[in-house]
Amino acid sequence: MSRNKNSFLLFIVVLATAGVRCGGQIAKKTDERFVSYFADAKKQDIQLYWKNDQQEIFKSIARLKTWLDKENKTLVFAMNAGMYKPDHTPQGLFIQHQQTVTPLDTATGSGNFYLLPNGVFYITVDNTPVVCTTQQLPAGEKIKYATQSGPMLVTNGKIHPAFSKGSANMNIRNGVGILPDNKIIFAMSKKAINFYDFAEYFKSLGCQNALYLDGLVSRTYLPEQNWIQTDGNFGVMIGVTTGNSQ
């Protein structure tokens, strides 16, 4: 009996040390308040989308999915990727296929985008994902995709100083962070949440840097979790696909 008890305790210790594995991968800690998608830029096809071949802005996840279906690609995840102007032009930096479509915005102003520090989520040509403040964006970096937004949720492991615990500023929110293993976490709150609690979720996962993407307009398409929102009226979107790669 004592031997069995000791073996059981050892098993628990091993699980706590190594992490619970599912399908050969360590299962990520999640929170039911959020729709969370963990992505690997080294292994998955992650792109930023804005216009189709006819230079028409997608605007909705449904239109993006329809277009990808025609390209023999299966959309497995999508969400809006940052703020945009009234004409659906990206607000701030947008890089697609290594081409700068709109420049970096280093101005000051009002609203969430200009709640400094704001930041950039980008993927390099060697498929390394990065979230950094706008001021820290390295010059000369070879970037394949980039979107700028704001504010930063977490910077160097610290929650944005303007966020208040218990704040009544509630809204649907979505964002992106980089995990300690250099994977990406995309998350959207299922219900209205304040900035502090949203940022705290990314910090609890170990993100040193995380970026707010947008609020009330946010939508997520994640059929593997039975979360299917295909509407929207966006600028740039993030999409993860399987099938025919470019």
Q: What is the pLDDT of residues 98-147, one digit of tens each?
A: 999 999 999 999 999 999 999 999 999 999 999 999 999 999 899 999 99
pLDDT band at residue 1 using 50, 70 and 90 as cut-offs: very low
Residue-level pLDDT at 127? 98
Average pLDDT of every residue of the chain: 89
Check: CB of residue 143 under 8 Å from CB of residue 122: yes
Does some domain include residue 24? Answer: no
Total domains present in the chain:
1
Does some domain include residue 12? Answer: no
Check: CB of residue 133 under 8 Å from CB of residue 119: yes
Does some domain include residue 23? Answer: no
φ/ψ of 6, rounded to 5, equals -65, -40
Does some domain include residue 4? Answer: no
Does some domain include residue 5? Answer: no
The answer to whether residue 12 scores a pLDDT higher than 50 is: no
Does some domain include residue 169? Answer: yes
Domain span holding position 49 = 29-243
Does some domain include residue 94? Answer: yes
Q: Residue 27: CB partners within 8 Å, gap ≥ 6?
A: 19, 20, 21
pLDDT band at residue 15 using 50, 70 and 90 as cut-offs: very low
What CA–CA distance (Å, rounded) separates 182 from 40?
Answer: 8
33-77 per-position pLDDT tens digit: 999 999 999 999 999 999 999 999 999 999 999 999 999 999 999
Q: What is the pTM of this model?
A: 0.87
E strand or H helix at 36, and its extent? strand 34-39
Residue-level pLDDT at 29? 60
Residue 124 pairs in a beta bridge with 143
Does some domain include residue 3? Answer: no
Residue-level pLDDT at 243? 85
